[in-house]
Amino acid sequence: MAVDGQAKPVGAPATGAGLSAEWEVDYRAGGRFAFQPASRFVVVPAGENRPVPVLMTPAVRDALSLGIGETVNLVLSGATVPVVLVGELDEVPSTAGEGMLLDLPAATDWLIRDRGAVRPVAEWWLSTDGGHAEAARAAAELPGTTLLDRREVAERAAGDPYWQGARTGLLAAALGSVLLALVGLIVDVWATARHRLGEFAVLHTLGASPRLLARALLAEQTFLAGIGVGVGLLLGAVVGATMAPLVILTPSAGRPVPEAAFVLPWLPIGLTALGLLLAALAFSAFIALGIRQRVAAAQLRIGGDQ
């Protein structure tokens, strides 16, 4: 406490366990409080010390026979702390079994008010809106602190040879699927056009122009290719949403908590589907350009058979 109100902090060393500050205080010779006898003061908490809100997994809640809004006493840092159940959660991140989550500010406030003690926090989870690298470096420089940067871990995992091999295999499988779909569309267009030649020859004999026959072929292939691409997208999304979360595991081959979120990259998927559709239409247009000669040859074959 400064006697002249002008004291300023001269140092504030910070560690992972807390923060301490040093203040410089100047006493004037003969000042008002220079020869005041020593005295003490007491800080008394005001208001009611309420139970600490807590979330529990179903097994813990059942073991304690608690309902939402009910209170139970837990031992925390050697102190009996009353907690009130405010909700349930399926799992607690970073734990393998059952557990509970307490409101840290409320628990700290309760311990200070009741016991005058603070339980040291062993681990903090932090996020940044921007400047992630700078924040990570600053946190790593704090004495007594061990930093685990999730982005750095992800970057190291991305460079792992096993993951690179798996990623290359998945990419090759995706490219193979695209090529297989393209070949299937081309074969379907060719087979459909070949199957329709007899009908086109009859229609041409009845007066249908080659241009009309070409438009009919293009319309039919556009409809069929569109349905094929759409059904393929739907089935791919269903299979991906079903299988992708099952093959994503932690380094210890366990299920991640929370579960992996399935996100479809719609832009590359849409561009791939559009490319397949355009390829099918381009091949249909190529066949339609020679429909006059194909129809004439079909008419000759029909006449020869008769």
Check whether 102 has a pLDDT greater than 80. yes
pLDDT attached to residue 25: 60
Q: In the structure, what pLDDT confidence band is assigned to residue 83 with cuts at 50, 70 and 90?
A: very high
Same domain (yes/no): 263, 174? yes
172 is a domain residue: yes
Please answer whether residues 200 and 213 qualify as being in contact, where contact means their C-beta atoms are separated by less than 8 angstroms.
yes
Interval 131-157: pLDDT, tens:
888 888 888 888 888 888 888 888 887
CB count within 10 Å of CB 217 equals 20
pLDDT attached to residue 3: 41
- Please give the average per-residue pLDDT across 114-120, as a whole number: 76
Range with the poorest average pLDDT among 114-123, 133-142, 163-172: 114-123
- Choose one of 154, 179, 198: the last residue of a domain: 154
28 is a domain residue: no
CA distance 306 to 302: 6
Same domain (yes/no): 80, 196? no
CA distance 152 to 281: 46
Check whether 86 has a pLDDT greater than 90. yes
- Residue 177: name the closest of 87, 110, 263, 269 by CA: 269
Same domain (yes/no): 172, 291? yes
Considering the chain, what is the average pLDDT of its residues? 78
**Cα distances (angstroms) measured from residue 75 to each of 72, 79, 80, 81, 285:** 10, 5, 4, 6, 78
Same domain (yes/no): 120, 183? no
Same domain (yes/no): 197, 62? no
Contacts of 99 (CB under 8 A, 6+ apart): 56, 57, 60, 91, 92
pLDDT attached to residue 33: 58
- Choose one of 154, 183, 200: the last residue of a domain: 154
Q: In the structure, what pLDDT confidence band is assigned to residue 21 with cuts at 50, 70 and 90?
A: low
Interval 231-266: pLDDT, tens:
888 988 888 888 887 888 777 777 777 777 888 888
Please answer whether residues 224 and 192 qualify as being in contact, where contact means their C-beta atoms are separated by less than 8 angstroms.
yes
| Helix, strand, or coil (residue 279) | helix
Token pair listed for 136: 């990570």
CA distance 282 to 304: 33
pLDDT attached to residue 5: 47
Same domain (yes/no): 149, 166? no
91 is a domain residue: yes
Please report how the helices 161-205 and 266-289 are oriented relative to each other, as an axis angle in degrees rounded to 10: 30
- Please give the average per-residue pLDDT across 158-163, as a whole number: 78
Range with the poorest average pLDDT among 113-117, 172-176, 185-189, 273-277: 113-117
Same domain (yes/no): 264, 182? yes
Q: What percent of the chain has pLDDT over 90?
A: 5
41 is a domain residue: no
66 is a domain residue: yes
Structural domains in the chain (count) = 2
92 is a domain residue: yes
- Print the domain residue range for 87: 52-154
Same domain (yes/no): 60, 148? yes
Same domain (yes/no): 141, 216? no
Check whether 1 has a pLDDT greater than 50. no
Same domain (yes/no): 216, 113? no
pLDDT attached to residue 49: 80
Interval 185-237: pLDDT, tens:
888 888 887 777 777 777 767 777 777 877 888 888 888 888 888 888 898 88
The HSE-up count of residue 240 (CA atoms within 13 Å, CB side) is 14
22 is a domain residue: no
Residue that the structure tokens 């074959």 belong to: 301
- Please give the average per-residue pLDDT across 79-92, as a whole number: 88
Same domain (yes/no): 191, 65? no
Q: E strand or H helix at 15, and its extent?
A: strand 14-15
Interval 27-44: pLDDT, tens:
566 555 556 666 676 666
Same domain (yes/no): 61, 129? yes
25 is a domain residue: no
- Choose one of 154, 173, 206: the last residue of a domain: 154
pTM of the model: 0.54
Check whether 180 has a pLDDT greater than 60. yes
- Residue 218: name the closest of 124, 281, 278 by CA: 281
- Please give the average per-residue pLDDT across 280-294, as a whole number: 78
